[in-house]
């Protein structure tokens, strides 16, 4: 976006080739609306992305003979044709190439990065076997969770304790999965999400208790994962797993949430996970990043000195609202105890009784800014937590 607006952009990339990762494979409609507005939609579609237009929400507590809830994804956010599912390495490469086409210069395989913030920031790094040093007008640290830019600026993240473990796996030959249909379900000790992609690919995420942290970590973790999937009865066409084949690595990681009030210092601003990430259990990472891109690119379209306080304020509230959505989600879908099942059953029965409930659950889809204020409060979280106690 910056290169398209005529700025001189130097992109420093640690990786030479992008690799499969467990996360970052699906973008909910509110993030898609940002992508469309940015003019980047076709870049991701050309990278093998595809739209899901239906979300099936299943639950083992549904009465027998009752069909799972089916929600439309098309049009729920302005300009969004649905939920965009795309491979992480393919998207990274496509966006990098689009940046080059727009005029950005790229160094790949960068190492030994050193950042000096200030009114005249400096960067030094090694690339192609030699050292380089530059003095840019601004350094944008979009270098992920372990951000070296953030550490160099001595910016600290607030971080929650892990709520659940989350495993991600890419499957091929998923010919039996329903077309353009995402799915989520709670069954037994698992909260499972399925996101199909063109070419009969299927990305599956499975959340489970941190008390079972050692699950899916050994040499037989793929077999264990597939056994769980084959044993589920609430996923649409669950029999598809009997004929699928691995198309990427299986990884599991703890779900945590991080944030900071001011993701900037003189000469440096952070974006994406470097500035704090939303717990991937609710799948908001790509949407958060695209919102960051839009807000920052609009600020940087003006003349320096740039004021990043509006970005910090908007992002802080955005991440707070997503933390509320996460707490509601995990109370209802990731508490695998008997108390959790009682709470979920009570919620299912009273979904229409409290007008705050549905907007709180739909924040993932429609976006944090679209939620009414009363649906993103600690009071609502407390109300959900107490469901089924009487």
Cis ω on the peptide bond leading into residue 305 (within 30° of 0)? yes
Mean pLDDT of 130-142: 96
Sign of CA dihedral 51, 54, 60, 65: negative
Q: How far apart are CA 61 and CA 199, in angstroms?
A: 33
- The predicted model scores a pTM of 0.95
Task: Tell me whether residue 45 is exposed, middle or buried, using C-beta atoms within 10 angstroms of its C-beta: 0 to 12, 13 to 18, 19 or more.
Answer: middle
Q: How far apart are CA 379 and CA 370, in angstroms?
A: 19
Q: How far apart are CA 334 and CA 290, in angstroms?
A: 27
Q: Which residues contact 124 (CB under 8 A, 6 or more apart)?
A: 112, 113, 114, 131, 132, 133, 134
Q: Model confidence over 48-62: pLDDT tens digits?
A: 999 999 999 999 998
Q: Which residue segments constitute the domains of the chain, with CATH numbers given?
A: 10-49+87-158+259-320 (3.50.50.60), 324-385 (no CATH)
CB 253 within 8 A of CB 145: no
Kindly give the pairing relationship between strand 105-108 and strand 83-85: unpaired
Q: How far apart are CA 44 and CA 86, in angstroms?
A: 7
DSSP letter assigned to residue 366: H
Closest of 190, 188, 124 to residue 152, by C-alpha: 124
Q: How far apart are CA 100 and CA 6, in angstroms?
A: 13
Mean pLDDT of 62-82: 91
Q: Which residues contact 159 (CB under 8 A, 6 or more apart)?
A: 256, 257, 258
pLDDT confidence of residue 24 = 67
Q: How far apart are CA 256 and CA 251, in angstroms?
A: 16
Cross-strand partners of 73: none
Q: Model confidence over 222-273: pLDDT tens digits?
A: 999 999 999 999 987 777 888 899 998 898 999 999 999 999 999 999 999 9
Q: Model confidence over 285-300: pLDDT tens digits?
A: 999 999 999 999 999 9
Q: Scanning the structure block, which residue is given the tokens 């500035």?
A: 275
Kindly give the pairing relationship between strand 245-246 and strand 164-172: antiparallel
Q: How far apart are CA 125 and CA 113, in angstroms?
A: 4
Mean pLDDT of 193-207: 95
Residue 352 banded pLDDT, cuts 50, 70, 90: low
Q: Which residues contact 344 (CB under 8 A, 6 or more apart)?
A: 59, 61, 186, 332, 333, 335
- Lowest average pLDDT, out of 59-68, 98-107, 175-184, goes to 59-68
Task: Retrieve residue 196's tokens.
Answer: 């199909």
């Amino acid at each position: 976006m910056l290169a398209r607006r005529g700025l001189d952009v130097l992109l420093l990339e640690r990786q030479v080739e992008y690799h499969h990762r467990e996360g970052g494979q699906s973008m909910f409609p509110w993030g898609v609306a940002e992508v469309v507005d940015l003019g980047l939609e076709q870049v991701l579609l050309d990278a093998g992305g595809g739209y899901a237009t239906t979300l099936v929400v299943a639950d083992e507590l549904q009465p027998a003979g009752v069909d799972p809830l089916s929600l439309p994804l098309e049009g729920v956010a302005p300009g969004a044709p649905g939920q965009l599912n795309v491979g992480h390495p393919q998207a990274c490469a496509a966006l990098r190439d689009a940046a080059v086409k727009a005029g950005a210069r790229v160094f790949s395989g960068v190492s030994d990065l050193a950042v000096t913030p200030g009114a005249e920031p400096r960067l030094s790094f090694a690339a192609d076997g030699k050292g380089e040093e530059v003095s840019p007008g601004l350094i944008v640290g979009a270098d992920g969770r372990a951000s070296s830019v953030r550490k160099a600026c001595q910016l600290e993240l607030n971080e929650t304790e892990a709520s659940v473990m989350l495993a991600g796996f890419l499957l091929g030959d998923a010919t039996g999965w329903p077309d353009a249909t995402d799915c989520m379900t709670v069954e037994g000790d698992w909260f499972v999400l399925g996101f199909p992609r063109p070419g009969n690919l299927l990305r599956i995420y499975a959340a489970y208790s941190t008390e079972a942290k050692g699950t899916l970590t050994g040499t037989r973790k793929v077999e264990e994962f597939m056994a769980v999937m084959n044993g589920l009865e609430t996923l649409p066409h669950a029999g598809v797993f009997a004929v699928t084949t691995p198309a990427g690595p299986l990884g599991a990681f703890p779900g945590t949430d991080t944030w900071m009030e001011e993701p900037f210092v003189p000469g440096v601003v952070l974006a994406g996970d470097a500035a704090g990430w939303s717990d991937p259990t609710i799948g908001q990472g790509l949407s958060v990043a695209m919102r960051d891109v839009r807000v920052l690119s609009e600020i940087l379209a003006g003349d320096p000195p740039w004021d990043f306080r509006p970005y910090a304020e908007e992002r802080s509230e955005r991440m707070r609202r997503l933390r509320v959505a996460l707490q509601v989600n995990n109370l209802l879908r990731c508490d695998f105890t008997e108390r959790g099942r009682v709470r979920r059953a009570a919620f299912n029965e009273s979904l229409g009784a409290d007008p705050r409930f549905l907007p709180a659950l739909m924040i993932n889809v429609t976006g944090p800014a679209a939620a009414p204020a009363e649906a993103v409060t600690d009071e609502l979280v407390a109300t959900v937590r107490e469901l089924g106690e009487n």
